[in-house]
Structure 1
Amino acid sequence: MKPEEGQLYGERYRLISRIAIGGMGEVWKAHDPIILRDVAIKILKPEYMGDPGFLERFRTEAKHAARVNHEGIANVYDYGEDSGSAFLVMELVPGDSLAKILEDRKVLPATEVLDIVAQTARALYSAHQDGLVHRDVKPGNLLITPDGQVKITDFGIARVADQVSLTATGQVMGTVQYLAPEQATGKSATPSTDIYSLGIVAYEALAGNRPFTGDNQMMIAMSQIRDIPPPLPEDIDPAVSELIMDCLAKKASMRPATALELAQRAEKLSGKSPVGQFNTRMIETVKPLPQTTTIIDTVENKVEKQSAVWPWVSVIAVVVLTTVGVLIAILTQPNPTPTHTPTETPTVTPTPTPTETPTTPSTATVFASDVMEQNVDVVETLLVGKGLIVSRVEGTPLPTGDPRINTVYEATPLGSLPVGTTVIVTYYVEDTTQTAPSN
């Protein structure tokens, strides 16, 4: 059933007006006559109802968002399946998304950006404490109320730390412009992944553009992996620039250790106190995510500012080492074997300690859910990272503007494949043969 104004869902929620269209469905403003309030209702697209993976992901969004109780995360009220559709009933947040605000204003003052970062980071920390990583932090998923409160939405691809991911290991999930380097190489998301994405959001709000660009999504993903972000505008306080560049460190261990630390640093720079009472509850059955120690004073990609003296030799060395490490990670997906570092043998012992030889996986596993309905550039990045060869095939042409253009709808072979196997990927293309109607 296609959503239309006036339709009733769950015999309770009547649609009023459409708010937005997303990749998985549509979001509508609706009215709940039982408790007399307006709500937001997210309706899964009919074509995904027959796909158990998409349906389960949609159900999981309800569980994920309801799992965390924090004022900075949009509430979930209800979930249902009715008339061939699945729907999620959420808090209707007044105001606009940060994406809409940036579209209108282009750039924001540093104090406003720091406030958004602090609020978002505190909400993310609450989710992280409950073992949940968002994995798709971007301006479109940050709603700003008229009084300046931030609400995070869309936990559709979030991952619970103590559960098996709904997608196969190695799948690239998230929006490529805000993708952390570890996500781009198919590694598991961690709380630091959300910190990196929030750093991209802050950079965009301060500079008016994103730090990493490219002609296609694959090139953008590669830029996330290997490139150092350009300096922020010179009128930005160097301390603010330093905080953002810390978030954008290629190595997760070089970023702020937790989202709470990020929030506190942003609040200190802005001179503002935290908004509301921060909830840090932890569900006892959820194992906390492991977190490596962060060296706050060492910034691997800090940009030279005015009179600051920068040790260029160190920068070059770090960049080279990081690039080599990433390339090794890509070539050894999905299960890279760490190199063993032999211990130094005492002089009294003539027999040296042997060095383990790293093994390269001989096979790569690819599931249909890894590639179907994904952008072809992202799919190619994923498969190449697993050691496979990609052969693109232009498939069914679609009218200009169809959101499915450049998405994959067929791939073969799939399953457990020898490294070096060629995977044929077929994707929708734009119909360039369309002609304007004659008069």
Structure 2
Amino acid sequence: MNPAQGTALSDRYVLTERLAAGGMGEVWAATDTVLDRTVAVKLLNPALSQQSGFLARFRAEARCSAALQHPNIITMLDYGEDDGAAFLVMELVSGQPLSQIIAERAPLPTPETVSILTQAANALEAAHQGGIVHRDVKPANIMVTADGIAKLTDFGISRLVGTAPLTQTGEILGTAQYLSPEQSLGQSATARSDIYALGVVGYEMLTARRPFDAETLVATALAHVNQPPPLLPDTVPAEIRDVIGAALAKDPAGRPVDAATMAHALGMS
């Protein structure tokens, strides 16, 4: 399938505007002709649809996302396959990815940073309570609406706790700049790995740079393991520096015990 404006998926979802494209596939705005509403459709690259591993991950994203109902998580509406193309149907969020906001105007004001981090932490808590570890928390996977509502998205490499992984043992999945030390070492991600990644996001929002960003992905991953993060500037309130610093602890036991604890600490700042 070559998706184009006007393409109808499963005789229901009519593609209207391409919103984003990458190696994994495309995201389109579409019209749900049954319920007469606008939705977002995420199409897996047809070449990847033929690879069982990628298709399994895509289906897993649908299952994981469909299990989560939270105001700070993008709602999964449907999953389908049409003419060799697998697709997800989600609520269409009018806003910007946090990565774009950071690129355009970071460092962000502390109140805005705290608000977005708190909402993202609440989203992670809901996922973790549902037994789901995200494993790829980063600014590109946090959408922010014009009125400041943050929504976590892209559970494409998430894993239901207690289920068999869809990856080979020792394979590292995630984005190097946001990988926890344990993930960098090829160990399994846990809820506290997501908390570490959210700490990296907070650091980046406040400074316009990532704490670890070496010349190669391997060097960046090793920096998470071996190097202390640069100190946040004194212009950041001490209580916020403490929360971010705790989230970035090398030892998972040194991080907030859960995302709800991190959200509470941010709310008390």
Q: Same fold (TM over 0.5)?
A: yes
Q: Secondary structure in 1 aligned to 2:268?
A: helix
Give 1:169 shift. 2.1
- Name the CA distance, whole Å, in 1 between partners of 2:9 and 2:104: 34
Amino acid at match of 1:122: N
Q: Secondary structure in 1 aligned to 2:31?
A: strand
Partner of 1:242: 242
Residue correspondences, number? 269
Give 1:261 shift. 0.2
Partner of 2:45: 45
- Name the CA distance, whole Å, in 1 between partners of 2:9 and 2:137: 29
5 Å-filtered alignment, 1:126-141, equals 126-141=126-141
- Name the CA distance, whole Å, in 1 between partners of 2:197 and 2:258: 13
5 Å-filtered alignment, 1:17-416, equals 17-269=17-269
Give 1:106 shift. 2.1
Task: Give unpaired runs (5+ residues) of structure 1.
Answer: 270-439
- Name the CA distance, whole Å, in 2 between partners of 1:45 and 1:189: 26
- Name the CA distance, whole Å, in 1 between partners of 2:145 and 2:256: 27
- Name the CA distance, whole Å, in 1 between partners of 2:14 and 2:90: 14
Q: Which runs of 4+ in 1 moved over 4 A?
A: none
- Name the CA distance, whole Å, in 2 between partners of 1:234 and 1:124: 28
- Name the CA distance, whole Å, in 1 between partners of 2:197 and 2:180: 6
- Name the CA distance, whole Å, in 1 between partners of 2:79 and 2:128: 23
Amino acid at match of 2:63: K
Give 1:22 shift. 3.4
Amino acid at match of 1:180: S
- Name the CA distance, whole Å, in 2 between partners of 1:233 and 1:121: 23
What percent of counterpart residues are identical?
Answer: 46
Task: Give unpaired runs (5+ residues) of structure 2.
Answer: none
Question: Per the alignment, do residues 23 and 249 of structure 1 end up closer, same or farther by CA in structure 2, a change over 3 Å counting?
Answer: farther
Amino acid at match of 2:147: D
- Name the CA distance, whole Å, in 2 between partners of 1:24 and 1:61: 13
- Name the CA distance, whole Å, in 1 between partners of 2:108 and 2:191: 26
Give 1:146 shift. 1.4
- Name the CA distance, whole Å, in 2 between partners of 1:28 and 1:184: 33
Higher helix share: 2
Aligned-residue CA RMSD in angstroms? 0.9
Worse-superposed segment, 232-241 or 57-66: 232-241
Partner of 1:3: 3
- Name the CA distance, whole Å, in 1 between partners of 2:19 and 2:233: 34
TM-score, with length taken from structure 2: 0.98
Give 1:121 shift. 0.6
Q: Secondary structure in 2 aligned to 1:148?
A: coil
Give 1:56 shift. 0.9
Give 1:91 shift. 0.6
Question: Per the alignment, do residues 157 and 23 of structure 1 end up closer, same or farther by CA in structure 2, a change over 3 Å counting?
Answer: farther
- Name the CA distance, whole Å, in 1 between partners of 2:147 and 2:216: 37
Q: Secondary structure in 1 aligned to 2:90?
A: strand
Amino acid at match of 2:146: P
Give 1:78 shift. 0.7
- Higher radius of gyration, 1 or 2: 1
- Name the CA distance, whole Å, in 2 between partners of 1:117 and 1:210: 15
Give 1:50 shift. 1.3
- Name the CA distance, whole Å, in 1 between partners of 2:31 and 2:187: 41
- Name the CA distance, whole Å, in 2 between partners of 1:255 and 1:228: 14
Give 1:23 shift. 3.8
Amino acid at match of 2:80: G
- Name the CA distance, whole Å, in 2 between partners of 1:218 and 1:226: 12
